[in-house]
Structure 1
Amino acid sequence: MSFLKKVCTLTAAVSAAAMLTTGAVSAKNFKIAVGDGAGSSQEGTGKFFIEALEKKSGGEHTGTMFLNGQLGSEQDTVNEAAIGTLDMSLLAINNVTPFSPTVGVFTLPYVILSLEDAEKLTQGPIGQELTENTIRDAGVRILAWTYTGFRRLTNSQKPVTTVADLQGLVIRVPKNEIMIETYKSWGINPTPMAWSETFTGLQTQVVDGQDNPYTTINAMKFYEVQKYVTNLRYIFSIEPLIVSEAVFQDLSEEDQQILIEAGKEATVKSAQYLRDIEAEIKESLLAKGMQIDDPANDEAEFIKLATEAVWPQFYDSIGGVDKLNTVLTTIGRDPVQ
């Protein structure tokens, strides 16, 4: 080997070693697990993030989404991201809660009452604190927030406008204790079921119903197996984009900042996306034969039972009643006495 070739070879080796020691990573295609299907708010956030990522990195980095839970259940993807075998996942916040319980404050029934509430909480100090908690507890970092809307109850049997109407129905819920206890406060024992099994469960009538926002009901084609929708507003569905902290730390500081900024941009666009499409999707569901009813008395009975029974059970797991009060006062609500 000539002296020049030896120098070139040595230089390449030194450069590669430097890249490993500094954490710099060359062009990367991030693998992104997505629980929902095409047309969902999750997919929308994923597109916004990839678009911003490509732009801010000058085309060096991009991402590929795997929709409809192709890479496993949402909770499984948290585990995989934690150990660094998966880059990113877009999933419901309730599937992060088992790994980082303090984020459960966003799943407590009737805490978030509007999209504006959700924006203020996720994009401010509370959202930053919960991001730091997920890094500490679960080994994943929240990069962006998807705003999917209020979870609406659907079922195949009858209109539901009161708590009494719920009785006798078999309702699927995620494997999330807060959501399970909420339905128990309304007098029924829900059926925890993996997201990947939900459509089949509804289709075969193993379960009568489930709850999810309009955008998810439409994207997952639940109108094919469900007739009745109840405009419950007990949870505003927030779905973060998480990145493996191990993967994140392998990036250069510059690339880390690019991911953070791309996430912020995707978050803002997600809110506007929901504002733009939710009413249209509701009309589409009506056109596809679904019947949409409002709860009686503006949900007063649902609210009273759920907040009185469920909130106190989870004060400890979310970090204490003071944490809940910080959330409530941030959005202009009265604190718990």
Structure 2
Amino acid sequence: MSYFTRFMASTAIALSATFISVGMADAKNFKIAVGDSGGSSQEATGVAFVQALEELSGGAHTATLFLNGQLGSEQDTVNEAAIGTLDMSILAINNVTPFSPTVGVFSLPYVILSLEDAEKLTQGPIGQELTENTIEDAGVRIIAWTYTGFRRLTNSKKPVTSVADLQGLVIRVPKNEIMIDTYKAWGISPTPMAWSETFAGLQTGVVDGQDNPYTTINAMKFYEVQKYVTNIRYIFSIEPLIISEQVFQELSAEDQQTVLDAGKAATAASAQFLRDKEAEIKQILLDEGMEISDPENNEEEFIKLATEAVWPKFYDSIGGIEKMNAVLAEIGRAPVSE
């Protein structure tokens, strides 16, 4: 073999090794914190995102889910993503609200009344504006939306079908002012408690009840420590997938688009998961011995007390009454006045 041939062969090997090294260096395995456990809507969104990310990147990128709060409380993961020490997190919107108050509009009681409402608001101009606000306020970017369904009230003491039935019960809520004030409007003072402490709190009787969608009640096995379910629909639970804006900006333009496209696919998969699974999961809860009741009079008393007391209090934090009316208009609802 001539010197030139040997030189070209060694150069080709070196270049090939360089390309492989660069490719390996660019490959990402994102860490995704997930508040809920296996079988939850959060997990379904995460799995769909990972599958789409791998497919859209041709296998170059993937992600690993850390379920059941392994990487810390949901609010802690916002802080960690903001400073770039965590890549992504799937968490309840109410745990984003303290960092970016305008997203609190999605937690106001009885604003979202269906999955279709949730899809219109999150995937339209309102959702885009709130995403931009969250980048600026919290240093994280919403890239997908999990639709988990209405938060249903559960408790271990008695059936609840009226506001009067709530009295005397100790109800756990997240550390979220809107949700706390909603229960206060119904005449009780709820107990703020971290998500990671909730099962133990129910099990030991520190709290009598909590509220979460059917999928979460089942995934967290709350039927082991709760007996009664009330089909209130005061909040439709929306749980975004966020990415650290610092991490996002470190990606190439192509990889940024891949992440955003994977997020859109995960959002669509989440809506389908809820449509396919909610009735099935409700039956599982019945089979596990839970008793499910509907509120009296189509929930009229719950609605009246909550909307009259809570909505006006939070107009300023969500961007003003004009913003509230823009949200209502987007879903075909009548405006409110001062």
| TM tier relative to shorter chain | over 0.9
1:25 deviates by: 6.3
* Contact 1:215–1:281 (CA under 8 A) maintained in structure 2: yes
Supply the AA of the counterpart residue of 1:315: Y
Structure 2: distance between partners of 1:25 and 1:94:
36
C-alpha deviation, 1:335, in angstroms: 0.5
Q: Counterpart of 2:30 in 1: which secondary structure?
A: strand
2:322 counterpart letter in structure 1? D
State whether structure 2 residue 215 is matched by structure 1 residue 254.
no
2:77 alignment counterpart:
77
Cα distance in 1 between the residues matched to 2:142 and 2:267: 11
CA distance in 2, matches of 1:248, 1:323: 28
Q: Residue 64 of structure 1 aligns to a residue in which SS?
A: strand
Q: What is the CA-CA distance between 1:269 and the residue it aligns to?
A: 1.0
For 1:148, what is the secondary structure of its paired residue? strand
Q: Tell me which residue corresponds to 1:244.
A: 244
- Other structure's SS at 1:31 match: strand
User: What's 2:293 paired with?
Assistant: 293
Matched residues in 2 for 1:68 and 1:240: separation?
Answer: 16
1:82-123 per-position Cα deviation (integer Å, ceiling 9, x unaligned): 000000000000000000000000000000000000000000
1:319 is aligned to 319
RMSD (Å) for aligned C-alpha atoms: 2.2
C-alpha separation in 1, matches of 2:76 and 2:19: 36
TM-score by length of 2: 0.94
Deviation string, structure 1 residues 219-262 (Cα, Å, up to 9, x no partner): 00000000000000000000000000000000000000000000
Q: How big is each residue's C-alpha offset from its partner over 1:146-204, in whole Å with a ceiling of 9 and x where there is no partner?
A: 00000000000000000000000000000000000000000000000000000000000
Partner of 2:49: 49
Show the counterpart of 2:196: 196
Contact 1:121 1:327 in 2 (8 A): yes
SS of 1:305's equivalent in the other structure is helix
Q: Which has the larger radius of gyration?
A: 2
Is structure 2 residue 31 aligned with structure 1 residue 31? yes
Q: Percent identity?
A: 79
For structure 1, the residue ranges without an aligned partner over 5 or more in a row are none
* Cross-structure match for 2:231: 231
One-letter amino acid of the structure 2 residue matched with residue 208 of structure 1: D
In the alignment, structure 1 residue 268 sits paired with structure 2 residue 246: no
2:133 corresponds in structure 1 to 133
Preserved contact between residue 162 and residue 295 of structure 1 (Cα < 8 Å): yes
Q: For 1:139 and 1:208, locate their aligned partners in 2 and report how far apart those are by CA, in whole Å.
A: 36
Deviations 1:8-62 (A, max 9, x none): 9x989x999xx8xxxx961110000000000000000000000000000000000
The 5 Å alignment of 1:90-169 reads 90-169=90-169
Residue 248 of structure 2 aligns with an amino acid whose one-letter code is F
Gaps of 5+ in 2: 1-6
Distance 2:313 2:83 in 1: 31
Matched residue of 1:299: which SS?
helix
Q: Give the letter for the 1:292 counterpart.
A: I
TM normalised by structure 1 equals 0.94
- Moved beyond 6 Å, runs of 4+: none
Amino acid of the structure 1 residue aligned with 2:131: T
- Work out the CA distance in 2 between the residues paired with 1:59 and 1:126: 33
Looking at structure 1, the residues matched to 330 and 131 of structure 2 have their Cα atoms a distance apart, in angstroms, of 17
Does the 8 A contact of 1:35 with 1:67 survive in 2?
Answer: yes
**Alpha carbons of structure 1 residues 62 and 15: separation in structure 2 relative to 1, 3 Å:** closer
Kept in 2, the 8 Å contact 1:25–1:251? The answer is no
Aligned length: 330
